[in-house]
Structure 1
Amino acid sequence: MIVSRRERWLGHALLILLMAVTVVPFVSLFVTALHQPGTYPSGLAWPETPYWSNFVDAFQAADMWALLWSSFLIELGVVPAALLIATLAGFSLGHLRPPGHRWIFLGFVLGLTLPFQAIIVPLYYQMRDLQLLNTRWAIILPLLGLYMPFAVMWMRAHFVTMPPDLSEAARIDGANTWNLFTRVHVPLSRPALSSLGILMFLWTWNQFLLAVVLVDDPKNRTMAGALGAFQGQWGTDIPLLCAGSLLILTPTLIVFLAFQRQFVSALMQGALKG
C-alpha cells in the first residue's frame, strides 16, 4: 500500500497533536508543583525559584512509604490471583471448550456491560456484612470479580488462536490436560499474560472509587485512593497537591515505560493473529 506525502504529513500532525494533548497536562502539573507553597500559579510559567522541596514535603505529609506498602499488598492480592483464574478459565473456554462454553462466555461478555458505579452501593453493604470494611480485602475481593470478565476474554482470545496441532502432538507424547496446560500453552502465553498483568497493575494502582467508599483509613487504600485524603488536607495548597499527585503517578509511569515493549508486542501479536 502506497501512502502519499500528504497522508504521511497528516498522520505525523495527528500524532504530534495527540502527544501534545497527553503531555501538556503532565507538564502543567510539574511546573505548578515547583511554585512556592501556598500560592495559586496560573499558566505554564516557570517559577523564578523552583521549590524542589515540595516533592519531599508532599512525600512526608502523605506518608508515602505507608501508601506504597499498602498499594503493594493490594497489587499482590489482586494481580497474581486474577492472572491465575483468568488463565485457567481462558484455557478452558478457548481450548478445551466444555459443554455450554458459549453460554459461559456470553455471561462474561455481559459482565463487561455492567456499569461499575451501579454496583458500588451493593458492594458496600456486602463488605459490611462480611465485616471487611476498612480493610484491604474490601478492595482486593471486588477487584478480582470486576476484572474477571475482561481478563477471561483476553486469555480466551489468546487460547482460541493456538494451533490445535500443538495439543494433538503433546497428547500423542502422553501429556494429560494439566501437562498440556502447564508445559505447552502457558509458556506460549507469556506475551498475553505480561500485557494483561501490566493492565491490571495499572488499573489496581489507579483504583480510586472502591478505595474511597469501602476503606476509611488512607493507609489501607491504594495510593490513588489516598489522594482523596491528601486533597482534603492540602487542597488549598495547589503546588503541594500537584507534587503529591505526581508522586502517586510516578510508579505507574515507570512500570509502563519499563514494559512498554512487551505490552506493544503482545497487542501486535494479538492483532496479527486476529
Structure 2
Amino acid sequence: MSFALSLTVRRRGPGAALIVVAGLYSIVPLVSMLSAALAPQGTIPDGLSWPSDPHWHNFVDAWTVANVTTLLKSSVLIVLGVVPISVLIATMAAYAMTVLRIPLGKVFYLVLLLTLTLPYEIVIVPLYQQVNQLGLLDSRLGLILPLIGLNMPFAVFWMRAHFLNAPEELTEAASLDGAGPWRALVHIHLPLARPAVTSLVLLMFLSTWNTFLLALVLVNDPDKRTMAGALQAFQSRYSTDIVLLNAGALLLMAPTILVFILLQGQFTKALLQGAVKG
C-alpha cells in the first residue's frame, strides 16, 4: 500500500508542482495589485504587504474617476455586437467547410489560416482608412465591424476542429430521415457543439473586452471605447497615484475574470473533445 502510494506521488508530484507554480504565478500579481489598491491614496505601496487599515473606498473613487459606468455600457454594447455575430458566422462557415464539404472549402480555410500569420498591427492603417471612407470613424459600429473580421479566422479554426470530431454517421442518419443541412445543423450538430460554442463565446468575449490598440485608433471619444481602451486615459491622468491606478485596473479586469470562472467548465470540455481525435 505504501509502495503504491509513493509511486503515485512520484508520478503525479511533478505535475502537481507545476500546477502550483502556475497558480502562484497567476495569483501573486493579483494579490499584489489588491494590496496596493487598498493602501492610502498618494502613497507608494510596499510590495505584498497588506495595509493595516484597508481603504476599500479606493475602488469607489476609482470607479468614479475612470467613469466605469459609461465604459461598462459601451463595452457591453460592443461585445453584444461582436460576439454573437462572430460565433454565428464562424459556426456556419466551419460546418459548411467540414460537414457539407462545399467546393473550394479547403482553399477558403487555407486563406483564413494564412491570415492568422499576419501581425495584428499590420492591418491597423488599412482598417483606419476603410473605416474612415465608410464614415464610421469614432463610432462603435466602426469598431464592431473590424473586430468581427479580425476574429473570424480563429473562430472558424476553432469550430472546424469540433466538426472534424463529429461522427459522420450522424449526418448520414439525418439525411436518411429527410433532414436537410440546416435542420441537421440546428437539431443535431449544434447541441453536440455546445461546449465548443460556449468556449468560443468565452474567447471572443475576452478578445473583444480587452481590445486596446484598435479602440484607440478607430475611436477618439473615450466614452465609446472598451474599458481596456480607456485604461490609457486613466493611466495618463493618474499615473502618479499608484493606488488609484491599481484599483482602476482591478475594476477593468473583474468582468473578464468573472466570465472566465463561470464558463471554464465548458472551455475544458471543448479542449477534451478536441483531444479525442486529431
* TM range, smaller chain: over 0.9
Equivalents in 1 of 2:163, 2:276: separation in Å? 14
Q: Which residue of 1 aligns with 2:243?
A: 239
Amino acid at match of 1:118: I
Are 2:138 and 1:164 equivalent residues in the alignment?
no
Are 2:23 and 1:43 equivalent residues in the alignment?
no
Amino acid at match of 1:213: V
Equivalents in 2 of 1:149, 1:198: separation in Å? 16
Contact 2:137 2:218 survives alignment (8 Å):
yes
Aligned residues: 273
- Among 140, 143, 146, which residue is 2:147 paired with? 143
Give the 5 Å matches for 1:11-160.
11-160=15-164
Amino acid at match of 2:14: L
> What is the CA distance between 1:4 and its match in structure 2?
5.6
Equivalents in 2 of 1:5, 1:122: separation in Å? 56
Amino acid at match of 1:136: R
Q: Which secondary structure state, in structure 1, belongs to the residue aligned with residue 228 of structure 2?
A: helix
Amino acid at match of 2:110: L
Structure 1 residue ranges without an equivalent (≥5): none
Contact 2:38 2:51 survives alignment (8 Å):
yes
Q: Which residue of 2 aligns with 1:8?
A: 12
Equivalents in 1 of 2:184, 2:51: separation in Å? 61
Amino acid at match of 1:176: G
- Among 208, 213, 224, which residue is 1:209 paired with? 213
Q: Which secondary structure state, in structure 1, belongs to the residue aligned with residue 136 of structure 2?
A: coil
Structure 2 residue ranges without an equivalent (≥5): none
Post-superposition Cα deviations, 1:8-46, rounded to whole Å, max 9, x if no partner, equal 222222221111111111111111101111112231111
Equivalents in 2 of 1:181, 1:49: separation in Å? 58
Contact 2:196 2:266 survives alignment (8 Å):
no
> What is the CA distance between 1:7 and its match in structure 2?
4.0
Contact 2:162 2:273 survives alignment (8 Å):
no
Q: Which secondary structure state, in structure 2, belongs to the residue aligned with residue 223 of structure 1?
A: coil
Q: Which secondary structure state, in structure 1, belongs to the residue aligned with residue 15 of structure 2?
A: helix
Q: Which secondary structure state, in structure 2, belongs to the residue aligned with residue 72 of structure 1?
A: helix
Equivalents in 2 of 1:15, 1:84: separation in Å? 35
Equivalents in 2 of 1:188, 1:13: separation in Å? 35
Equivalents in 2 of 1:263, 1:157: separation in Å? 14
Equivalents in 2 of 1:25, 1:134: separation in Å? 34
Q: Which secondary structure state, in structure 2, belongs to the residue aligned with residue 224 of structure 1?
A: coil
Post-superposition Cα deviations, 1:200-238, rounded to whole Å, max 9, x if no partner, equal 001111111111111111110111111111111111111
Are 2:161 and 1:189 equivalent residues in the alignment?
no
> What is the CA distance between 1:138 and its match in structure 2?
2.3
Amino acid at match of 2:81: G
Amino acid at match of 1:189: A
Equivalents in 2 of 1:237, 1:138: separation in Å? 33
Equivalents in 2 of 1:37, 1:17: separation in Å? 32
Amino acid at match of 1:180: A
Equivalents in 2 of 1:239, 1:232: separation in Å? 14
Equivalents in 2 of 1:237, 1:126: separation in Å? 39
Post-superposition Cα deviations, 1:40-68, rounded to whole Å, max 9, x if no partner, equal 22311112221111000000111111111
Are 2:231 and 1:224 equivalent residues in the alignment?
no
| TM-score for both structures, normalised by structure 2 | 0.94
Choose 45-54 or 88-97, whichever is displaced more.
45-54
Contact 2:33 2:250 survives alignment (8 Å):
yes
> What is the CA distance between 1:121 and its match in structure 2?
1.6
Post-superposition Cα deviations, 1:74-133, rounded to whole Å, max 9, x if no partner, equal 000000000110011000011111122111111111011111011112211221111211
